[in-house]
Each structure stands twice: as C-alpha cells, then as structure tokens.
C-alpha cells in the first residue's frame, strides 16, 4: 500500500493534505501528529473522517520527530491516538520496549513497530537483530536507515530475504531512493510517499510518481 506522509502545524493542515492525497489515489495517509504546533489530545477527533485509512504517528525527537513537548506529553498524545482506533498506529520500538502498557488498549488498530537510524545504515546482521525485536510485536515491522553509500541499500534490502511477512524496510536520503523502489517490488506492506513538493523525509517519492511506478511494477 502507498501511504502518504502528511505534516502540518494544525489539524486543518493535516485534513487538507489527507483529502488531497486520497483524491490522487493514496491507499493510506500518515498523520505526523508530532508536527502540530499545538498537539492537543482533544483535537484528534477532528480527523475521524480519515481514521479507517490512517496511520497515526507521534515520532520521538531521537528518531526524526518534531514533538514540541515533554516525553510525558508525547505519551499522553500516543494514548489519545490509540483511543481514536485508527487503522494503524506507528510506535517506535524503543518506546514499545520502555512502555509495554501502550499495547493493552490497541484493540482493532494494527501496530507498526518502527526503528530509525538517522545517521547511517548499520551492518545487515545488526539490522536483522533489530527486525527480530520488532517481530516480537504483532503488526508491521518498520526498519528505516540513512544511506551514506549505494551499498547501504543492499544491507536494508537483505531484510526481505528472510521468512515471515515482509517488513517495511528502506533507506532515507537521495542515495536510498533505490531501496524505496525495490522495497515496493519485494513486497513491502507499506511504502511511504509524499505529496508533490512536500516531502516529510529525505528521498521520499512523490505520490504520483509512486503510483506510476507501482503500475509499471505490477505489469512487469
């Protein structure tokens, strides 16, 4: 599935971006709640129209997030996001391991257990161990690194060779675009894209390009 990442300073910004993405043909939208200027838990109900096709994310600063408050406030917003019962909820692996009680009320929401390295791509063996940790949680393992050389793409793509459901694994950065394309070919359950000219992460394909790429891959 193609998931368009949406950032914005207000709920109206998120809603507008989601409407545009879904009208173009995105399967899902990711609401980056950590980008809100005033991330109040009570405001999340305004996204109700989109929740059956939404990923809610409150990314922690250490993994690329922009949440302006304390960790306690971030956890409060995560719990409010859980209460909204979206289709998916993205929670960092480190957060899940530190606060296992978050899982007790997930209900019908599918978990994305994510892990990000913003500076490099670790060796394939290290990535495999991270993937094994993420698989301890039922849901979609998401492994994201930063490509500093073309070879880094191969390290991340090696995660698709193992048994079990494929992860969502790719490299960020211009050097990592190859991994994003090949992840679609190798069966990544979710491919993250952006609205044209509004990239949320380095190296993201825009939605229209990704739709055309998916069409070509399906006909190959």
Q: Which residues belong to the active site?
A: 116, 142
Quote the CA–CA distance of 98 and 215 in Å, as a whole number: 41
**Cα separation of 207 and 192, whole Å?**
9
Sheet of 168-172: strand order equals: 168-172, 140-146, 110-116, 88-92, 54-57, 28-32, 2-6, 191-194, 205-206
Written in H, E and C, the secondary structure of 124-190 is HHHHHHHHHHHCCCCCEEEEEEECCCCHHHHHHHHHHHCCCCCCEEEEECHHHHHHHHHHHHCCCCC
Q: Is 144 helix (H, G, I), strand (E, B) or coil?
A: strand
């Amino acid at each position: 599935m193609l998931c368009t990442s949406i950032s914005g300073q207000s709920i109206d910004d998120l809603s507008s971006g989601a409407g545009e993405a879904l009208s173009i043909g995105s399967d899902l939208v990711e609401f980056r709640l950590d980008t809100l200027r005033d991330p109040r838990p009570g405001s999340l109900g305004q996204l109700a129209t989109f929740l059956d096709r939404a990923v809610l994310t409150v990314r922690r600063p250490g993994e690329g997030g922009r949440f302006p408050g304390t960790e306690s406030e971030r956890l409060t917003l995560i719990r409010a996001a859980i209460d909204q019962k979206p289709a998916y909820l993205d929670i960092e692996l480190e957060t899940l391991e530190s606060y296992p009680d978050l899982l007790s009320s997930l209900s019908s929401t599918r978990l994305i257990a994510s892990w990000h390295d913003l500076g490099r791509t670790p060796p394939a063996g290290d990535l495999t161990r991270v993937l094994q940790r993420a698989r301890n949680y039922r849901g979609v393992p998401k492994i994201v690194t930063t490509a500093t050389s073309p070879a880094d793409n191969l390290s991340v793509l090696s995660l698709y060779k193992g048994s079990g459901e494929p992860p969502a694994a790719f490299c960020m950065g211009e050097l990592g675009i190859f991994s994003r394309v090949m992840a679609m070919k190798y069966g990544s359950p979710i491919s993250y894209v952006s609205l044209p000219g509004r990239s949320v992460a380095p190296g993201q394909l825009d939605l229209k390009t990704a739709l055309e790429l998916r069409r070509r891959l399906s006909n190959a």
